[in-house]
Structure 1
Amino acid sequence: MRRLPLLALVAALALGGCTSPSDGEPPATTPSTSATPTGTVPTETVPPDPGPDPRVGECHALSFGQAVAVVGRTAPVPCRRRHTAQTYFVGRLDLETGAGFTRRVDSRAAQRQARQACTTRLPQHLARTPRELRLSMARAVWFTPSPRRAEAGADWFRCDLVVVAAPERLLRLPRRTRGWGDTPAIAMCATAAPGTPQFARVACGGGHSWRAVTTVDLPGRRLPRQAAIAARMEASCRDAARAQADDPLDFVWSQESPTREQWDAGQRYGICWVPA
């Protein structure tokens, strides 16, 4: 949640929805004409094709770049084949405004509607609470029709589950992902201690040396000073580290506070880490 920082990924992965040219649209049609006995040439207008609607349960072989786009429909693949995304919800966009105008599918309002619906439904799909998913590399991404498809009547939005395996790399998913949220392989781990140059978030199914164990909420509308964040997180991180340690008198931990970018994207919590 793009490494991208945690919420930078969410901002990127939703930070989260999808502008992709691979919409599968046919080339523009050429009006057909035919001669008549009177010599006039009537023109037949072919209505634009809105394309097929996505369906829940479809699988997609997305690249990381496709997952961080927001407009366009990618073609599904059989779920028995290699895939990195699975559709868990399909909804309808409300594109009509009170003033009688129609919003574009790539407008902020339309994308906000898709983002809220997809992020709200992901915990239910994975059978985890939103707080539990903070410690997971599972992310919601969303797609809406291209403007051309929307002009033809397409008004859907599609919510896909992806799992970030490593910076700019998605994890291969199983055929079914409902209730899959407690899988240890998709938990949040790291290649090094937070704050070091080697630090990168990875799924725990890959090589790692640290793992995230809990989060600490940070109050207020403005990002607190680092000293205030550290003081607020210390007791919770220490207790979590002690609970994970073999020796309750000998343990270490690391505290990670949100960056300005993460805070602005909505991450109002810090993360506690322990050696794996």
Structure 2
Amino acid sequence: MRLLPTLLLATALLAGCATDAQGGDTDPDQVDAVEVPELGACRVLTPDDVARASNATRTVPCSERHTAQTYAVGELPTDLRDAAYDDEALGSFAYETCSTKFQELLGADESLVMRTVVSWAWFRPSEEAWDDGARWYRCDVVGGGEQSEEYVALPETTEGLLMGRPKDRWMVCASGPSVDAGEKVPCSQPHDWRAVTTIKVGDQDDEYPGDRVVEVTTRDFCSDSVGAWLGYPVEYDFGFTWFHEAEWQAGNRRSVCWARTPD
């Protein structure tokens, strides 16, 4: 089975779609801003806001309800300053930069962040600001993922959110007959499947091995891994999430293993 997990939300933004608007409840001072955005700022973002290349939604105090918080900002590297606004290289840079800082923020490794309901999104300047020379990036942690219809509220700070034993409200499960067809929900809600392990299917410098190799490698590993996680029962059901070349080129090298379990 194949689907995009919550954490790869941002890879859908590589092409920079919907650049003609900057989200809901926009702040005029942020629209077409050339300056680097404020680090630590909180906002009430929606999936529609996150689907846009640039965002100028008003900030709110982090002590109030919010669904997103900016955890990394900066100037794009010199070799990208002459890139086109929708250059795929921008997305690759954002994936590497935002995903690394995302792990540091949450206090988790790559495997754990692929199994959480929170994800990250990145934004660039508006096209007008880009034409005026703006070359910044902004990484936001958001309370949901690619399949979320709405986002959950985040705590006042997400720093260290997954350290130790993470609470089920922040881990991803699925409710439905299969992982592919199921609705992704926090594990604190009723569910049928839980994301329990991941597998690294290649090194960063490897060429994409092809769909069939990734799928079979993932399936075989997950069969053994989920069995071990469940304590080697005689019979058990498992699922797996794997990815195609577009996600590979963006930087992802992991697949996710799911166990059928109501707890």
Q: TM-score range by the shorter chain?
A: 0.7 to 0.9
Partner SS state of residue 124, structure 1: helix
- Distance in 1, Cα, partners of 2:197 & 2:177: 15
Q: Quick one: distance in 2 between partners of 1:267 and 1:231?
A: 16
Q: C-alpha deviations, 1:69-118, integer Å up to 9, x for none?
A: 22243321222222111000111113656xxx832343222333223211
Rounded Cα–Cα distance in structure 2 between residues aligned with 1:230 and 1:201: 20
TM-score (norm 1): 0.74
Q: Give 1:218 deviation, angstroms.
A: 3.3
Aligned counterpart, 2:205: none
Q: 1:192 deviation in Å? A: 2.4
* CA RMSD between the two structures: 3.2
Counterparts of residues 66-85 of structure 1 (less than 5 Å): 66-85=49-68
Report how far residue 237 of structure 1 moved: 1.3
Give the 3-state SS of the residue equivalent to 1:211 in structure 2: strand
Tell me whether 1:133 sits opposite 2:113 in the alignment: yes
CA distance in structure 2 between the aligned counterparts of 1:234 and 1:215, rounded to whole angstroms: 12
Tell me which residue corresponds to 2:71: 88
Q: Is the 8 A contact 1:215 1:269 kept in 2?
A: yes
Q: Secondary structure at the match of 1:15?
A: helix
Partner of 1:13: 10
For residues 82 and 51 of structure 2, what CA distance do their matches in structure 1 show? 25
Aligned length: 243
**Offset, 1:259:** 5.1
Q: Mind listing any 5+ residue stretches in structure 2 that lack a counterpart? A: 203-207
Q: How does the TM-score come out when normalised to structure 2?
A: 0.77
Deviation at 1:149, TM superposition (A): 1.3
Q: Could you say if the C-alpha distance between residues 56 and 263 of structure 1 is closer, same or farther in structure 2, counting changes exceeding 3 Å?
A: closer
CA distance in 1, matches of 2:87, 2:161: 32
Residue 115 and residue 268 in structure 1: after superposition, are their counterparts in 2 closer, same or farther (change >3 A)? closer
* Aligned-residue offset at 1:193: 4.3
Post-superposition CA distance 1:171-228 (Å, at most 9, x none):
111111111123321101111243574x122222333232121123335722336556
Distance 1:25 1:96, change over 3 A: farther
User: Hey, what's the Cα distance between the residues in 1 that align with 2:94 and 2:75?
Assistant: 9
Aligned CA distance change for structure 1 residues 64 and 205 (closer, same or farther; 3 Å): farther
Moved more, 232-241 or 222-231: 222-231
- Structure with the bigger RCO (C-alpha within 8 Å, sep 6+) is 2
- CA distance 1:234–1:111, change in 2 (3 Å): closer
2:161 to 164, 169, 180: 180
Letter of the aligned partner of 1:54 in structure 2? P
1:64 is matched with: 47
Aligned equivalent of 2:173: 189
1:42 aligns to what? none
